[in-house]
Structure 1
């Protein structure tokens, strides 16, 4: 059985690699065609289009991994069934449990590979893609809003006073996250009254020291006493500074989130941003949902292997390989749709995101077990 297990593992891994290359090539072709309208604008040449298309491949590979594994496993199972190899193995005493054990090794290899794609290769490629785009089009350095990126900051002054800030940054550089465009800081005291506004031409972050705002104009509003009849109790104070230090819990990593879709972020970055949102009392449901979806998505590789098992018990008269591959495609699309559906339901219904993210995998595993029981009892 060891020789059979090694051959089985080899067939599944090679088939998965082949199917993944074909699917990625198909999506890359359409992605390249979609960029043709931009070639020739803002120094956007054909080489840049090829580079940007290439940088999307890790993300595509991550997204297509479960489907590729399913198609490859269905093909391998169907081929072994069509040549009666499964019939011989079953006659030799191979049970569904033994078959599942044979799938453990290729499953773990593909599971780890999918995690590496989603947590290392894809986020790095997407960040570099943003850098390439920002080098050719400076307007891409902003998050996409006309007013720039907005972020909330809760911090304390050196004397221990809590400060609530709303910070607006006009542009965030993809090439150098330590430097930003113009800042506007709206600072409120513990009573919810506006106490200070800071405007600066740019900001620079120094590790260990924090942000320094350049060419800043600071406007300090007086604290009004409601018991007095004259509301104008003290004048405004306006000061200018070539460099103004600003203590803040906002880091370049948090600002980097402003340039990336949550679905394309690494789980570590998502976790840091969720912690920041919780710290400043902002809603983080969507990011939590995406975090747990990314945590369970690679597990779909193992689920797809389990779904392919019943196909090995279908003989050649149960349909050709093409029909089984077609069924595999439908199942893969259904799994992808369920993942997206429950991801949105988690945020909309305020359900536990970890539980909702696990539902598609559990449902598919149940369907696989039922199908395997049915073909085994036929």
Structure 2
């Protein structure tokens, strides 16, 4: 078994690497075509485009690894079937369970690689790519014409929540600085207590922001009760200051999440942002689904390799190697589409996030079990 394990491992690793490199080259070519119109805009030159595309490849590696594992495994197993190698292995005592166990041990390598790219490499390179593009083009992050909106909590010195704050940011610069900041602060009864404007805000660490060119307008609680205070303007006071320190749970990382694709974020970042949304009583379903997909997706490699195993039982008369590879490509594309479809349908129908994330893998795993049962019977 050790000899067979090494033989399977060497052939499958080589085939999967080849398929993955071919996919990466194809996607890099398409990305280059998409980036060419942006070349020459500001300081964004062709070398920046190449670097931007290269930084996006780890994200594609994460997304394509299960499909590459499927196609590479099908190629190797189909070749063995066409050369009668797998038939000889079965006659020598190799059972379906043993073959599946060998594939699972090989698949564990791909699972670990997928986790590494999804949790460590891809989030860092994706963030670096966006900063590179913004710096080269001289642009900044904007979500709406009115800027970026987020919600925060106001806490006292003991950490207890005493109110809420709505934050409006005109621009988020690549270095994490905020421009054109507006804060609308409310008490626990949701009554507006103050409005703060600042030209810039810089994060100092430990929940502290330093606001510059600050204007603070405070509202007395009687302002909104004209029966008590007919002249409402007398309950409004405005002060200015060159700087002011602000304590907030919001960090530049949390703000940058707003502009990031959840599928390109790490599970740790998704969990942090989801917790922030939940604390502020905001909708978290989209990020909950993305979090569970991030946890479960690497294990789809096992499902894809299980789907590849039945192809070892199909002889040449059941179709050539090229036909089987084409079938593998269609299965991989179907898995990708169904995985994305379940995410949107689950979000629309408020399905449990874990069930939404795991359902496509379970569906294709059931298909693999049925396919193995069929080839063994026939």
Contact 1:15–1:72, Cα closer than 8 Å, also in 2? yes
Distance 1:209 1:34 in 2: 39
Q: What is the SS of the residue equivalent to 1:181? A: strand
TM-score, L = length of structure 2? 0.96
* Deviation for aligned residue 1:173: 2.0
Q: Deviations over 1:7-32 (max 9, x none)?
A: 10111111100000001001101111
Please say if residues 43 and 138 of structure 2, whose CA atoms lie closer than 8 Å, have aligned partners that are also in contact. no
| Equivalent residue number for residue 149 of structure 1 | 148
Q: What is the 5 A alignment of 1:1-378?
A: 1-139=1-139, 141-158=140-157, 162-174=162-174, 176-177=175-176, 179-208=177-206, 210-224=208-222, 226=225, 228-232=227-231, 234-378=234-378
- Give deviations 1:77-130, integer Å, cap 9, x for gaps: 000111101110111121110001111221100000011111111111111111
Cα distance change of structure 1 residues 79 and 209 upon mapping to structure 2, 3 Å threshold = closer
The offset of 1:265, in angstroms, is 0.7
For structure 2, the 5+ residue unaligned runs are none
> Contact 1:157–1:163 (CA<8 Å) still a contact in 2?
no
Question: 2: CA distance between counterparts of 1:209 and 1:304?
Answer: 44
Deviation per CA, 1:234-264: give whole Å up to 9, x if none. Answer: 4311111111111111112211212311111
Q: 1:209 to 1:58 in 2, by over 3 A?
A: closer
What is the CA distance between 1:75 and its match in structure 2? 0.1
Rounded to whole Å, the distance in 2 between the matches of 1:167 and 1:321 is: 58
TM-score (normalised: structure 1): 0.96
Secondary structure of the structure 1 residue equivalent to 2:98: helix
Distance, in Å, in 2 between the alignment partners of 1:377 and 1:264 is 42
Alignment RMSD: 1.5
Change (3 A) 1:161 1:364: closer
In the aligned structure 2, how far is the partner of 1:241 from the partner of 1:19? 60
Q: Check whether the contact 1:142–1:171 (CA below 8 A) recurs between aligned residues.
A: yes
For residues 144 and 152 of structure 1, the distance between their equivalents in structure 2, rounded to whole angstroms, comes to 15
Unpaired runs of at least 5, structure 1: none
Shift in Å, 1:161? 6.3
Please give the secondary structure, in 2, of the residue aligned with 1:185.
strand
Q: Deviations over 1:183-240 (max 9, x none)?
A: 1001111222211000000001111361111110000011117494443364311111
Tell me if the contact between 1:12 and 1:73 (Cα under 8 Å) persists in the aligned partners. Answer: yes
Q: Which moved more, 1:19-28 or 1:248-257?
A: 248-257
- 1:270 and 1:161 map into 2 onto residues whose CA distance is 23
Question: Aligned equivalents of 1:230 and 1:126: distance in 2?
Answer: 54
Maintained 8 Å contact 2:41/2:137: no
Q: What SS class does the counterpart of residue 116 from structure 1 fall into?
A: helix
CA distance in 2, matches of 1:316, 1:372: 18
Structure 1 residue 62 displacement after superposition: 1.1
Which sits farther off after the overlay, 251-260 or 45-54? Answer: 251-260
